[in-house]
Amino acid sequence: MIFLDAAATTPVRREVIEAMFPFLTNQFGNPSSHHELGEAAAAALAAAREQCATALGAHPEELTFTSGGTEADNLALKGIALARRAADPSLNRVLISAVEHPAIVESADHLRRIHGFEVCVVPVDAQGLVDPDVFAGMLAASGAGSGSAAGEQDGAAAGGGVAVASVMYANNEVGTVQDLSALSAVAAAAGVPLHSDAVQAAGWLPLDVARLGVTALSMSGHKIGAPKGVGLLYVRGGTLYEPLIHGGGQERGTRSGTENVAFAVALGTALAMAESARPSAAGRVTALREGFMRRVLAEIPTAQLTGHPTRRLPNVASFCFPGTSGESVLLELERRGIVCSSGSACAAGADEPSAVLSAMGVERTVAQTALRFSFASDITASELDAAATELAAAVERMLRLG
Ligand code: PLP
């Protein structure tokens, strides 16, 4: 089987299992306990936090371990919006890009439905990019006339200042990479904290938060060889944010609950490994991905690349194959030993075209033919050659069968 679905998840690396194993077995202490076992656990947690802080160029106290990317996104968006509005009631708006993951879209919708925020959606161009000038205009606007989130009722706009904005670093469906530094500069000039979902960027793009200029950044372990169920939120020191989980005050009060030491150790190990491999892995996989894209577009004349042709994740190639159905090509490819993902995998219903592709202006029937191919860092040229050959045959068969 050739696994071309690494953006969905990756296996846990052996070194990561070895690093976390002691904290599931003989070193099982609770980091809050005042005895040797507890202190060993607290030291391991601190070391893991330090590893992550080094990868992000952050201070360890700026990091909160979470249960994954979804929780990190929720904590960033809701936590910052609620805390800032509590301090200044005029901060009643939240801006999110039109291509966010459901973890951000649904968090924003929660803020709208339950807390009365106005949610404004920053449009993207046909390649999935947010224009910094459009973003600047929306940060400055009073609220009237801006886009509205799915489900927002007309006329519900309240206006007011922006409590928080969120634009993802790299898109999970089409791989488009935003110019985060430019967007951060715009947000900073407007005095608005910018959060970025970097779940897909980790291991492929630089995560240095100072250079990116973001106020907050989320990531997830299972995209980089750590287990599912662990993630991280960076929030710049001095930024107001409310915890979502209350209790014993762990994680400096940002997330109560006994810390998952083993998973934090796993994330620290995986992130350190991913960062040290990143420069060579990104270069090698970018070249392979470009070759794969060229072959697919040459051999399947009807294929349409989705996302940006060059500003994209090293490991994500995505296409629409008009005249087919994404699901049927996916199944045909699996029969041929190739595993990938259909563009609509994350949408609510099987027939719902991807909101990301819709936001990029891809027509509904075309969006339903989307497939994403995403590669792990050990992908080989021969695997991608075989995949391109099988893909061309699968699409040809589906077009023939109608
Ligand atoms: N954000 C993006 C861009 C993602 O691709 C994902 C997962 O696929 C998430 C957030 C959610 O992360 P997790 O699965 O760790 O909750």
Output the furthest CA–CA distance in the chain (Å, rounded).
Answer: 70
- Of all atoms in ligand 1, which is nearest to the CA of residue 171? 3
Q: Which atom of ligand 1 is nearest to the CA of 170?
A: 3
Cα–Cα dist 135/41, whole Å: 44
Q: Whose CA is nearest to atom 13 of ligand 1?
A: 69
pLDDT more than 90, % of the chain: 92
Is 399's pLDDT higher than 90?
A: yes
Give the closest residue (by CA) to ligand 1 atom 8.
8
| CATH H-level superfamily of 2-9+278-401 | Aspartate Aminotransferase, domain 1 (3.90.1150.10)
- CA nearest ligand 1 atom 5, residue: 172
- 8 phi-psi bin (left φ>0, alpha ψ -120 to 50, beta other): alpha
* Cα separation, 245 vs 217, whole angstroms: 19
Q: What is the pLDDT of residue 151?
A: 38
* Pocket lined around ligand 1, Cβ cut-off 6 Å: 68-70, 73, 101, 103, 168, 172, 197, 199-200, 220, 222, 231
Find the 220 Cα to ligand 1 centroid distance in Å. 7
Ligand 1 centroid–CA 301 distance in Å is: 33
Question: Global pTM?
Answer: 0.95
Residue intervals in the chain for CATH 3.90.1150.10: 2-9+278-401
Q: What is the third-level CATH fold of 14-274?
A: Aspartate Aminotransferase; domain 2 (3.40.640)
Q: What is the pLDDT of residues 153-164, one digit of tens each?
A: 333 344 689 999
> Rounded to an integer, what distance in angstroms lies between the CA atom of residue 167 and that of residue 178?
8
Q: For a substitution probing ligand 1, which of 199, 341, 346 has the most ligand atoms within 8 Å of its CB? A: 199
DSSP code for 18 = H
Active site residues: 346
Residue 70 Cα, ligand 1 centroid: separation in angstroms? 6
Buried b / exposed e over 153-185, threshold 16 CB at 10 Å, is eeeebeebbbbbbbbbbbbbbbbbbbebebbbe
Write the residue with the smallest CA distance to atom 10 of ligand 1: 69
d(CA 157, CA 359): 21
* 72 Cα to the center of ligand 1, angstroms: 9
pLDDT in tens, 259-307: 999 999 999 999 999 999 999 999 999 999 999 999 999 999 999 999 9
Which residue spans of the chain are classified as CATH 3.40.640.10? 14-274
pLDDT band at 402 (very low <50, low <70, confident <90, very high): confident
